[in-house]
Amino acid sequence: MQRDRITDDIYVLTSDLYAQVNAGVVFASDGVVVIDTLPFPDETREIIALVEKEAEGRPIYLVLTHYHTDHTFGACLFPNAIAIAHTLCRKRLEEHGEQALQAAKAQDPAFAPLSLRLPEVVVKEGDLLLRLGNKTLQLFHAPGHSPDGLAVYVREDRILFTGDVMMPIPYIVDGDVGQTIATLQRFRELQIETMVPGHGEPILRGEVPDAIQANINYLNTIVREVRRYLQQGKPREALRELDVESCGIPRIALNGLAPQLHHRNLLALYQRLSAEIQPAPRARATKTSSRSSRAS
**31 vs 149, beta carbon nearer Zn ion:** 149
Q: Per rule CB under 5 A, is residue 199 in the interface with Zn ion?
A: no
Helix residue ranges per DSSP H, 80-136: 87-92, 98-107
Among 256, 229, 257, 255, smallest CA distance to 242 is for: 229
* CA pair distance 73, 130, nearest whole angstrom: 23
Query: Among 16-24, 45-53, 65-73, 179-187, which window interacts with Zn ion (CB under 5 A)?
Result: 65-73
3-class state of residue 276 by DSSP: coil
120 Cα distance to chain centroid? 22
**174 vs 225, beta carbon nearer Zn ion:** 174
Query: Among 19-27, 61-69, 133-141, 249-257, which window interacts with Zn ion (CB under 5 A)?
Result: 61-69
Q: In angstroms, give the least distance from the CB of 69 to Zn ion.
A: 9
**149 vs 259, beta carbon nearer Zn ion:** 149
Q: In angstroms, give the least distance from the CB of 179 to Zn ion.
A: 14
* CA pair distance 40, 268, nearest whole angstrom: 28
**146 vs 194, beta carbon nearer Zn ion:** 146
Residue nearest to Zn ion (CB): 68
**68 vs 117, beta carbon nearer Zn ion:** 68
> 88 CB contacts (<8 Å, ≥6 apart)?
67, 147, 148
User: End-to-end CA distance of the chain, in Å?
Assistant: 63
Which residues, 158 to 187, sit near Zn ion by CB under 5 A?
164
**71 vs 117, beta carbon nearer Zn ion:** 71
**73 vs 229, beta carbon nearer Zn ion:** 73
Among 72, 71, 67, 69, smallest CA distance to 88 is for: 67
Q: In angstroms, give the least distance from the CB of 24 to Zn ion.
A: 15
Candidates 15, 27, 61, 68; binder of Zn ion (CB under 5 A) is 68
Q: Per rule CB under 5 A, is residue 43 in the interface with Zn ion?
A: no
Helix residue ranges per DSSP H, the chain: 41-55, 69-72, 87-92, 98-107, 177-188, 208-231, 253-256, 258-274, 282-295
Q: Per rule CB under 5 A, is residue 86 in the interface with Zn ion?
A: no
> 186 CB contacts (<8 Å, ≥6 apart)?
140, 142
Q: Are 167 and 175 in contact (CB under 8 A)?
A: no
Q: In angstroms, give the least distance from the CB of 291 to Zn ion.
A: 48
Count of positions on this chain that bind Zn ion (CB under 5 A): 2
* CA pair distance 242, 262, nearest whole angstrom: 9
Q: In angstroms, give the least distance from the CB of 164 to Zn ion.
A: 4
Q: Per rule CB under 5 A, is residue 148 in the interface with Zn ion?
A: no
Which residues, 216 to 275, sit near Zn ion by CB under 5 A?
none
Q: Which residues bind Zn ion (CB under 5 A)?
A: 68, 164
